[in-house]
A and B are shown apart, each in its own frame.
Chain A
């Protein structure tokens, strides 16, 4: 199995999406657990992309040399590798999803003005494999649509993906739209993505923030727990 993992890592580095998909299947055939395999693959991707062009230190210079730095083009193809892999893993993850202790419905989308997809899709897969019911409303979603979908589907959580700083100003609009529809008290709002920080939670009136896809699920579990307690106190189901 170790040999396959090594080959996966090398193939990701070589940026070959088709071969990466084949190796994902090979690892599964050799007995890899889908959840562990996804975690490994994401770990490799994180390690690799830490050498991105924009990885600056406090000295104002990159930690990586030009020859080893990854450009956007590299990141795009690495993203394609992940897409190939998750398309194979997702059905297995869902089939084996444990029944969540805190089952919840999540409306998940990328905020208006932003068309980044990879992070949201990965988080979506993680949520689903953790037992959540996902209503993925796509990319470039207006604030109003988050609220409308949350009300329509009686969601517990609204998940906002945001990777561009200028689009962050739309995050508090989601909160306002939830207020307008009178469902703010019954929904928790969690955000994540390249341009978001933990400090955005109080600034934008959110309830939680996920540093990465694993943290997003962890924070969402906590928020679900809080939400259930609040509902219990209010006598609401």
Chain B
């Protein structure tokens, strides 16, 4: 078997619009005007608030001092980012994800407009690496017009394939594909808005990537019937995650601290397709290793799992013991109270509460979202200083969430999490 691991070689039939670089995008004079105007508007919204974003983040995460509102990130992720340009039309009709990938400067402008419109306090910039590494772990993938990469052909069909992958763990693609553009954009935004910390998410985690490496259906069946193969896949993708973490660390540098300086790196993993029992089987193979590795690298890992409480609790414990203060992402859990009570006992956990599918899929999504947010807000008030330091977000990138629900949630989060609720 002879496979060269880079996206161009692995995916010889990548579409014509696939971005091959070189990545030396400059803003035009007109684009500079748009960026300047957007930044001015964003700064205006900040003047009305008690504190600037870096200060707010430092207080929220390190001191538990009272705030006028929680920090939030509601950044535009891949397909939703395009909607800022067409007034959140559903269906989108003007720009598509592929346009953003072809023109990252356009996406940077979109991000700036988003900050201005929604008064962001950080940017969760993972537009281009939200592909979960399909370009690295599949034999073939392709982009669809209005969404993320689609894994077409998994790499691992046999134990030999898995062993080959483990012995030849690829380097993150830095010549072609989405990662170089992603790095460019992170750097551009850090320069454009130094007043705001940037969150750079390293997607996906070992479980997500193992799902693509093997094919989700076969991976799930392996966990149930062929654990040896599942374990090999997970070891391979954990090794790949470490390589991605190294690159992110190299580019972003300083971890955010109590002065509010620095940025941070997260890794997110879609664990939601595993049951609690299945997750327990794979936890030690992957998560303990990855969390310890992050801590050793000197940054506090934010892990954003999606899935059952039986997955969240051991992660919280592991972060608390090894990460020296990590963040636990919350997403897709249908019962907020249960989640909160089960994870809050661990020290140094920053609870990142990402509101997701359950409310947004409700036929009466407006009421559902408002109720969901309000319930969260009340919980935060009830336990303001114990264990959890909290921020809130709307993950706008789930390809299956109805678009109007995303827009409603982004607006509502700002309204609900203001601190008159504290009284």
* Interface positions of A (Cβ within 8 A of B): 53-54, 56-62, 64-66, 69, 71-74, 76-77, 80, 112-113, 115, 140, 163-170, 172, 194-195, 203-204
Contacts and interface: CB of A to CB of B under 8 A. Distances in A.
Interface stretch (B64-72, B114-122, B357-365): B357-365
Contacts of A73: 220, 223, 273-275, 278
B295 interface: no
A113 B146 contact: yes
B79 A72 contact: no
Contact of A54 (B358, B367, B370, B372): B358
B275 A74 contact: yes
B393 to A, nearest CB: 16
Given A61-B336, A113-B147, 20 more contacts: A54-B334, A57-B368, A58-B367, A60-B358, A62-B358, A64-B334, A66-B276, A66-B310, A71-B273, A72-B272, A73-B223, A73-B274, A113-B146, A163-B400, A165-B401, A165-B402, A166-B79, A166-B399, A167-B146, A169-B145
A140 to B, nearest CB: 7
A56 B399 contact: no
A163 B400 CA distance: 8
A69 B336 contact: no
Contacts of B91: 168-169, 172, 203-204
A113 B335 contact: no
Contact of B359 (A56, A165, A168): A56
A167 B147 contact: yes
Given A56-B334, A62-B335, A165-B400, A71 B147 contact: no
Contacts of B401: 165
Instruction: Indicate the size class of the contact surface on chain B.
Output: 35 or more
B338 interface: yes
Interface string B306-327: 0111100000000000000000
Nearest to B356: A54
B51 to A, nearest CB: 30
Contacts of A168: 91
Interface string B282-311: 000000000000000000000000011110
Contacts of B223: 73
A53 B332 contact: yes
Contacts of A64: 334
B386 interface: no
B398 to A, nearest CB: 9
A72 B217 CA distance: 10
Contacts of A66: 276, 308-310, 333-335, 338
B273 to A, nearest CB: 4
A60 B92 contact: no
B368 A59 contact: yes
Nearest to B364: A58
A169 B400 contact: no
B150 interface: yes
